[in-house]
Amino acid sequence: MKRMLPRVLLGIFIFIIVIGIGLLLAAPRVDNYQPNSEQGEIPSSSPLMITFNKPMDIDSVASHLETNPRRVGSFEQQGNTVVFNPDIPWISSAFVTVTLKAGARNTFGLPLLRTLTWKFYVPETRLAYLWPFEPPSDIYLLEPHSGKVVRLTTFKKGVNDFDVSLDGRMIYFSAENDQGGSDIYSLDLLDKHVIRILECGHVHCSGVLVSPDNRFLAFQRADGVINNENISALWLMNLLNKDTYIVSEAEEGVDDFGWHPMGKLVYFIGDRNLIRLVDPDSNERQEFEIDSESLGVWSPDGTLYLTTTLIPVKTKDVDAAISSHLLLYNLLSKQSTDLTEGINLEDATPAFSPNGDWIAFGRKYLDASDWTPGRQLWLVKIDGSNTHALTNEPDLNHVNITWSPDGKYIAFICFNQVKITAPPEVWMIDVEGKTPVRLVINAYAPQWIP
């Protein structure tokens, strides 16, 4: 019996080792994580993506995950990958530290044996633009404060236009091809991969605009002619399966289009003063008439619609003139408010601030004593109060107004209305009207990337 005891103990020891090795091999481990420092430019809205060797208990992962700076948000599971979507963007120009503590369990109840910690850097909020103004143009990326510039595309015949996804990760653009038309591409800012997602041959596909949820892409396809003029139909692409379908025939005469913040496609038919909203999933349509010359803009929550309307006026200096007013529609109360306080004004190109409290727009006076060749950059609160100018450059027209995601800065294009051969310039100014900075000469179409 005594001789058997060592053998029994050895057997138990070997059994424990085998079980331990088995548990070690069966325990969850992290195979990959994103974003990381090797990915280069990381958008501030980037989700955390942790890929394991086996499916995980998502609640267990959530309770063991910490970030610095701290963020709350939503979790989702994609196979073996757990995705964390923060409720607010990461701080720009700063490091983010992520810690996944040991003990997070997989679906079999086995724990993660080691704590994982990593860091990634979020660059300052950047500005994308097209350069040069004369084609062929390409997309460039600028850090406004550091001055760092990165060229994103290199197309022999140039890029026509582009749009940035709301989360700041994807850029979609139209570029000229060798067949006389233009194709549509996507560019992932994490890995810089450029993929052609729609080949159009000799037809021009352009004017790309991505939906707020990054599921659909609206664009125009110019493959018709009426009265010797090229006309364009409005199309949609499902970005998940790349299927395309027509939304509005060219003969309908779509003058402009965009997206409602809640994900509906919106387009404007000028000769009928008609705005139509289309649900891209169901194709359900709504429409309403509005006294406007162009498609307006929506407040961030989608409850306010801001557009311009033309009003014939007479002044002491001019027998007849056209005043352009900002008209704000409240879609809940069905009421409208004229935000332009005078009759001798030309207000145009409005843009809501990210929090929806302010509106930036271009203004010039029509009376002879105050008239200027260019429109200046102004601000007004959504209740019509606190209207004031940010710029005072009479010869310059301020257009393409766009707010930074944090609402601290406004970028815009300046066109010299006196020296008409001068190239356009991209400028930036803070909302206090201080420290205007010229960022790029001979560039256009600026868009912020969070």
- DSSP string covering 289-347: E-S-SS--EE-TTSSEEEEEEEEEE--SS-SSEEEEEEEEEETTTTEEEE----SSEEE
| Residue 41 falls inside a structural domain | yes
pLDDT at 225 over 90: no
Residue finishing a domain among 272, 289, 306: 289
Residue finishing a domain among 122, 145, 179: 122
Do 161 and 280 lie in one domain? The reply is yes
| Residue 70 falls inside a structural domain | yes
Do 103 and 20 lie in one domain? The reply is yes
Do 118 and 160 lie in one domain? The reply is no
pLDDT, position 89: 86
Q: How far apart are the first and last CA of the chain?
A: 75
Which residues, including other chains, have CB under 8 Å from residue 387's CB and lie 6 or more apart?
339, 341, 378, 379, 380, 381
Contact in structure between 300 and 292 (CB atoms under 8 Å): no
Most confident of 34-38, 367-371, 411-415: 411-415
Taking alpha carbons only, the member of 7, 41, 39 closest to residue 124 is 41
| Residue 364 falls inside a structural domain | no
How far is 378 from 390, CA to CA, in rounded Å?
5
| Residue 395 falls inside a structural domain | no
pLDDT at 227 over 70: no
Tell me the mean pLDDT in the region 212-239.
Answer: 85
Residue 356 CA, chain-centre distance (Å), reads 16
pLDDT, position 252: 84
Do 114 and 196 lie in one domain? The reply is no
The β-bridge partners of 98 are 67, 118
Helix (H) or strand (E) holding 236: strand 229-238
Q: What is the CATH number of the domain that holds 252?
A: 2.120.10.30
Do 34 and 104 lie in one domain? The reply is yes
pLDDT, position 43: 84
- For residue 10, CA distances in Å to 3, 15, 20 come to 12, 8, 15
Q: What is the CATH number of the domain that holds 103?
A: 2.60.40.3710
Give the Cα-Cα-Cα angle 49, 52, 54 (nearest 5 degrees): 135
Do 89 and 204 lie in one domain? The reply is no
How far is 298 from 305, CA to CA, in rounded Å?
5
3-state helix, strand and coil shares in percent for the chain, rounded to the nearest 5: 10, 50, 45
pLDDT at 416 over 60: yes
pLDDT, position 231: 76
Do 285 and 164 lie in one domain? The reply is yes
- Cis status of the peptide bond prior to 405, with omega within 30 of 0: no
pLDDT at 19 over 70: no
Contact in structure between 310 and 366 (CB atoms under 8 Å): no
| Residue 438 falls inside a structural domain | no
pLDDT at 27 over 90: no
pLDDT at 369 over 90: no
pLDDT, position 259: 98
Tell me the mean pLDDT in the region 381-401.
Answer: 97
Do 191 and 269 lie in one domain? The reply is yes
pLDDT, position 45: 84
More confident residue, 91 or 33: 33
How far is 422 from 88, CA to CA, in rounded Å?
41
The β-bridge partners of 322 are 312
Do 172 and 104 lie in one domain? The reply is no
| Residue 50 falls inside a structural domain | yes
CB neighbours (10 Å) of residue 270?
14
The pTM (predicted TM-score) of the whole model is 0.85
At 275-320, the pLDDT tens digits run 999 999 999 999 888 888 789 999 999 999 999 998 887 666 555 5
| Structure tokens that stand for 197 in this block | 């997602």
Do 36 and 81 lie in one domain? The reply is yes
| Residue 373 falls inside a structural domain | no
How far is 361 from 164, CA to CA, in rounded Å?
22
pLDDT, position 8: 54
% of the chain exceeding 90 in pLDDT: 73
Total domain count for the chain?
2
DSSP labels, 125-183: PEEEEEE-SSSS-EEEEE-TTT--EEE----TT-EEEEEE-TTSSEEEEEEE-TTSSEE
How far is 36 from 119, CA to CA, in rounded Å?
7
| Structure tokens that stand for 23 in this block | 């548990």
At 129-151, the pLDDT tens digits run 999 999 999 999 999 999 999 99
- For residue 302, CA distances in Å to 138, 246, 352 come to 32, 25, 11
Residue finishing a domain among 248, 264, 289: 289
Do 169 and 47 lie in one domain? The reply is no
The β-bridge partners of 361 are 378
- Cis status of the peptide bond prior to 89, with omega within 30 of 0: no
pLDDT at 187 over 80: yes
Contact in structure between 341 and 325 (CB atoms under 8 Å): no
How far is 435 from 424, CA to CA, in rounded Å?
19
Do 48 and 112 lie in one domain? The reply is yes
Residue type, 242: K
pLDDT, position 440: 98
| Residue 186 falls inside a structural domain | yes
Mean pLDDT value across the chain: 90
Q: Which domain holds residue 106?
A: 4-122
